[in-house]
Amino acid sequence: MQHCLLRHKNALKDLVLYDIWDRLLDSGTAKTVFYDGSVNSHHEFRDFMRQDGNQMFAAYFDGKPAGVVWMNDIRRGNARVHGAYFKEMWGRKGEELPRSIMLGRHAMATLLREFQFDVLYGTIPVWNKTAIKFSERCGALPVGVVPHGAWMADRKESVDAMMLATTQESTEDAWTKY
């Protein structure tokens, strides 16, 4: 049985996008994910995700809303990837493999294979050690630190960012079967 599912934005009504934003707010991750200040409301979230340059997917685990993954800066063979999962998806004590890790691995492997990308890459402010570790557990490999690579809107300054890359070689075929 497959636990993980990604649904493209074209299959989603605006109310689903509003719900995703509200869940990101409830999980306390909205400001952490949109640290650059680009999205601050559910209408801005909907408009941002509906842009042609964003390939957005709602993530589901066992049929329940679990988070969001999107790509942009899409070029031949690569894309920038972003994601966030709702609080109820985060790890639980005693779980051999947290649901969020299963979903993250599934998302990365699926996007790499279905879009035939060589690499998905992203940057995370270096202070966000939890997100960096999560990305690594989902198959991302640290590439290096980009000086001043993340604009922090609330602080009105750029901070160093860890660049990570996920390749088909850093993921496993089995991850698409979760």
Q: What is the pLDDT of residues 6-61, one digit of tens each?
A: 999 999 999 999 999 999 999 999 999 999 999 999 999 999 999 999 999 999 99
Q: What is the pTM of this model?
A: 0.92
Q: What is the pLDDT of residues 74-104, one digit of tens each?
A: 999 999 999 999 988 887 666 778 889 999 9
8 Å CB contact between 89 and 64: no
pLDDT beyond 70 at 171: yes
Domain 4-177, CATH number (from 3.20.20.70, 3.40.190.80, 3.40.50.300, 3.40.630.30): 3.40.630.30
Q: What is the pLDDT of residues 135-166, one digit of tens each?
A: 999 999 999 999 999 999 999 999 999 999 99
Beta strands at 78-85 and 119-125: parallel, antiparallel or unpaired: parallel
Q: Report the first-to-last Cα separation within the chain, whole angstroms.
A: 8
Q: Which long-range contacts (CB under 8 A, 24 or more apart) does 169-176 make?
A: 170/139, 170/140, 170/141, 171/105, 171/108, 171/109, 171/112, 171/139, 172/105, 172/109, 172/139, 173/109, 175/105, 175/106, 175/108, 175/109, 175/139, 176/106, 176/109, 176/110, 176/113
Q: How far is CA 76 from the centre of its chain?
A: 20
pLDDT beyond 60 at 110: yes
User: 84-112 burial, b for 16+ CB within 10 Å, e for fewer?
Assistant: bbbebbeeeeeeeebbbbbbbbbbbbbbb
Average pLDDT over residues 105-123: 96
